[in-house]
Chains A and B, each alone.
Chain A
Amino acid sequence: MNPQDYKTIIFVVTAVSALIAASPALQRFLVYPQTEFFTELWLLGPEHMAENMPYNITRGVSYNVFLGISNNLGNCTYYSVQVKFRNLTQSGPDSFNRTSSTLAPLYALNVFVADKETWELPMTFSFEYSHDDNLTKVSFNRLLFNGATLDLTGTSTSRDPEKNVFFGNLVFELWIYEEATGGFQYHERFVDLKFNMTFNCLGARIKKPEKIVQCGSRINKLET
């Protein structure tokens, strides 16, 4: 048989074998470099789903949520999640202007996340607060956050006339360590939980709700 007949077969077999042999080297040079560098920040509800977020808050009751960070910045990153609590009138973070709240953090959750890795923290929190006799103002005492007692004395919230709720806002701002400045810079990301601080309290059993139940450090007028 004429070798010309085998020419195509030999050429194809050689070319395919050469490509297979060269694939480990080609893989190194033909992989597109990562072009988008970003961090994901999220909050999930108690069932680890994006639902059933706590809204109507009862004094002394613990609520569970999950906070997650996913690092896609290309290297191990030192994050700080600053926990802030605000009422309707206090400064909050702004998504459009990309600014953080001017409030001082109550707590800082510092964490290192390696590149392309995810970090998640189960968070448990409860509030201690009281309200005035006219039911127009809620005064906060403290926030119990993952076992830490955070002082909220001096923070209060008034009834939001539009929504008829006592607004409270727990904010988690993401900050990132900058080597150049040797400090944390706002990473232009935040997640938050909006609350209605109700007058309910843990353990109160009311037969006749003739009077509004008060509890905590204030007068207990329970009709059991």
Chain B
Amino acid sequence: MQCGKVLTKTNRRLAFLVAILLSSTVLLPSVVFAEQSSADSSIASARQQIVICYNAAKAAEAAGANITSLTSILNNAVSLLSQSELAYSKGDFSTAQTLAVQSSQSLANFVSKANAMQDVAAQQRTLDFYVNVVGSIIGTIVVVVAGFVVWRILSKRHSQTGEQPDEPAGL
């Protein structure tokens, strides 16, 4: 009887172990797959965001903005993304996802900042155009007119005083 009880206990333990093993073989890959899939989407999202921010930075630069601060933020984001991709290649999906999310977070408000810089640069460019081009053209016209006026005044003064032109020496 006792021997039978021991056997039953052993059987139960065995059955329990088998159940745990079976469930782990079924559940573990699905957990790993879920982590991988999550890391995948985070990395893809970070990549996409970086490209969007890059285009915003390029537009700001084309408008004449100094984008050193923007490239610094972008470089920080790509550095995190590179680390994330490295972790992913090593199968560390959890770290890969964390780093990819950090990369995306570092770019929060980037586009609005770039757009604001673009607007400021565009305004600066307009002002610069008015000061340098329009102002310069007006200044040139004023100088030419002033030269002509001086010439006219001197001619008038000369004709009023009736002064004769000086004879060249020796004639």
Q: Given A1-B163, A28-B132, A114-B67, do A21 and B57 touch, yes or no (CB 8 Å)? A: no
Q: In whole angstroms, how far apart are the Cα atoms of A10 and B153 in the complex? A: 12
CB within 8 Å: A-B pair count: 102
CB distance from B60 to the nearest CB of A (A): 9
- Which one of B10-18, B33-41, B93-101, B144-152 contacts A? B144-152
Q: Given A4-B165, A21-B142, do A112 and B74 touch, yes or no (CB 8 Å)? A: yes
What per-residue 1/0 map shows which CB atoms of B73-95 lie under 8 Å from chain A?
A: 01100110111011000100000
Please tell me the size bucket of the interface on B. Answer: 35 or more
Contact B132–A177 (Cβ < 8 Å): no
Q: Which of A5, A18, A26, A177 contacts B54 (CB 8 A)?
A: A177
Chain A: CB-nearest residue to B79: A110
Q: In whole angstroms, how far apart are the Cα atoms of A117 and B146 in the complex? A: 45
What per-residue 1/0 map shows which CB atoms of A2-23 lie under 8 Å from chain B?
A: 1111110011011001100111
> A76 interface residue, CB < 8 Å from B?
yes
Q: Given A2-B163, A2-B166, A78-B54, do A17 and B71 touch, yes or no (CB 8 Å)? A: no
Chain A: CB-nearest residue to B129: A28
Contact B71–A113 (Cβ < 8 Å): yes
Chain B: CB-nearest residue to A21: B139
Contact B67–A76 (Cβ < 8 Å): yes
Contact A18–B137 (Cβ < 8 Å): no
Q: Which of A17, A27, A108, A115 contacts B143 (CB 8 A)?
A: A17
> B25 interface residue, CB < 8 Å from A?
no
Q: Which of A112, A114, A119 has the most CB of B within 10 A?
A: A112
Which residues of chain A have C-beta atoms less than 8 A from B83's C-beta?
Answer: 148
CB distance from A195 to the nearest CB of B (A): 23
> B133 interface residue, CB < 8 Å from A?
yes
Q: Which of B61, B75, B81, B140 contacts A21 (CB 8 A)?
A: B140
Q: Which of A11, A111, A117, A179 contacts B68 (CB 8 A)?
A: A117
CB distance from A198 to the nearest CB of B (A): 28
- Please tell me the number of chain A residues within 8 Å of chain B, measured between CB atoms: 40
Q: Given A13-B147, A21-B143, A111-B75, do A76 and B57 touch, yes or no (CB 8 Å)? A: yes
Q: In whole angstroms, how far apart are the Cα atoms of A151 and B71 in the complex? A: 30
Contact A28–B163 (Cβ < 8 Å): no
> A75 interface residue, CB < 8 Å from B?
yes
Contact B165–A110 (Cβ < 8 Å): no
Q: In whole angstroms, how far apart are the Cα atoms of A11 and B143 in the complex? A: 11
CB distance from B99 to the nearest CB of A (A): 12
Q: Given A75-B61, A76-B71, do A112 and B147 touch, yes or no (CB 8 Å)? A: no
Which residues of chain B have C-beta atoms less than 8 A from A23's C-beta?
Answer: 136
Q: Given A3-B158, A28-B132, A177-B54, do A75 and B62 touch, yes or no (CB 8 Å)? A: yes
Which residues of chain A have C-beta atoms less than 8 A from B61's C-beta?
Answer: 75-76, 114-115
Contact B136–A112 (Cβ < 8 Å): no
Which residues of chain B have C-beta atoms less than 8 A from A24's C-beta?
Answer: 131-133, 135-136
Task: Scan residues 29-60 of chain A and give those whose CB is less than 8 A from a CB of chain B.
Answer: none
Contact B136–A22 (Cβ < 8 Å): yes
CB distance from A73 to the nearest CB of B (A): 11
Contact B82–A22 (Cβ < 8 Å): no
Q: In whole angstroms, how far apart are the Cα atoms of A84 and B141 in the complex? A: 63
CB distance from A1 to the nearest CB of B (A): 7
Contact A107–B135 (Cβ < 8 Å): no
> A180 interface residue, CB < 8 Å from B?
no
Q: Which of B57, B85, B151 contacts A112 (CB 8 A)?
A: B57
Query: Could you pull out 16 A-B pairs where Cβ atoms are within 8 angstroms?
Result: A3-B154, A10-B147, A14-B146, A18-B144, A21-B139, A21-B142, A24-B132, A24-B135, A25-B140, A76-B71, A78-B54, A108-B82, A108-B85, A114-B71, A117-B71, A179-B55
